[in-house]
Copies of this chain bind each other. A is one copy, B any other.
Amino acid sequence: MFSKACEYGIKAAIFIATKSYEDKRVSPKEIAEKINSPQAFTAKILQSLVRNDIVSSVKGAYGGFEIQKDRISQVKLAQIVKAIDGDSIYIGCGLGLEKCDENHPCPAHDKFKIVRDELQNMLENTTLEELALNIKSGSAFLKT
């Protein structure tokens, strides 16, 4: 469904959010440990989350990654996916035609559209906040 990069990005953002509730910044090292991902690769993905204003970073000693507390409920899963995987999942054709076009549809267009619209809807209506709360409450996990 999503690329590895995107999976790491989502999980990293969720972990950063849980820590930000406690006013703590986190390093790529700690993030990679907690979400079970390769550290250097994760650091790269964090950079693109920063460039896309999904998380913020503070350089230097005592720095790290964080998310402003009042932003956690504003960030949608869709933003993270779009930042990392682009929007092909939304506008691309399920069978690989140049683009998904009602006027020149692939044979599975109507079927795909329903599923894809639901996916898009889900991503746009799911906030980092609710995902992070699932972690904080102990009812969901970021690894294994």
Q: List residues of chain A with CB under 8 Å of any chain B CB.
A: 1-2, 4, 7-8, 10-11, 14, 77, 89, 92, 94-98, 104-109, 111-112, 114-116, 118-119, 122, 126, 131-132, 134-135, 139-144
| Chain multiplicity (copies) | 2
User: Are B107 and A114 touching (Cβ within 8 A)?
Assistant: no
User: Are A95 and B7 touching (Cβ within 8 A)?
Assistant: yes
User: Are A142 and B11 touching (Cβ within 8 A)?
Assistant: no
- State the Cβ distance, A75 to closest chain B Cβ, in Å: 13
Query: Given contacts A11-B95, A95-B10, are A141 and B106 in contact (CB under 8 A)?
Result: yes
A114: B residues at CB distance < 8 A: 118, 122
A131: B residues at CB distance < 8 A: 107-108
